[in-house]
Amino acid sequence: MVAADPMAVAELPDEASFRARLQRSGHLEDGWLDLAIDAGGVLAGRIQTFVPPGRALAPGTFEVGIGLREGARGKGYGREALALLTDWLFEHAAAEVVEAPTDPANVAMRTVFQRVGWMLAGSLTEFGREWVLYRITRREWQTR
């Protein structure tokens, strides 16, 4: 995460919090789920759900973050991971809404959201910067 693109990481977590996240990796707990994106046995990146600090999420709402290693970008891994996680959240985690912020200049991520069926839902200011927010509801996911 130290070398992550600043478009993808708003701020680095403190070490103790990050270690706690790693210990629960792969298990949904209190809105948090951290997963690796595997491309044929090679780590391509990460995808997670998280609870944004200082902003409560409505019941059944999950916020997603994703980051790919530079060499894995543009190969469809992000789109596939986002589609799989979105589907899993609706099918197995009782999600009603799945949403994610991204930097307005991150055209690649915005395109991924659109290709997976998510819609632009507005903007928000967090961590001292402006983000655009994409989202999809259970109904939209089922009828796409």
For residue 129, what is the domain's CATH number?
3.40.630.30
Query: Is 1's pLDDT higher than 90?
Result: no
Contacts 24+ apart (CB under 8 A), 80-83: 81/35, 81/37, 81/45, 81/47, 82/47, 82/112, 82/113, 82/116, 83/116
Number of domains present in the structure of the chain: 1
* Domain span at 80: 15-143
Residue 9 is assigned to a structural domain of this protein: no
Mind listing the pLDDT tens digit for each residue in 83-117?
Answer: 999 999 999 999 999 999 999 999 999 999 999 99
pLDDT band at 12 (very low <50, low <70, confident <90, very high): low
Residue 53 is assigned to a structural domain of this protein: yes
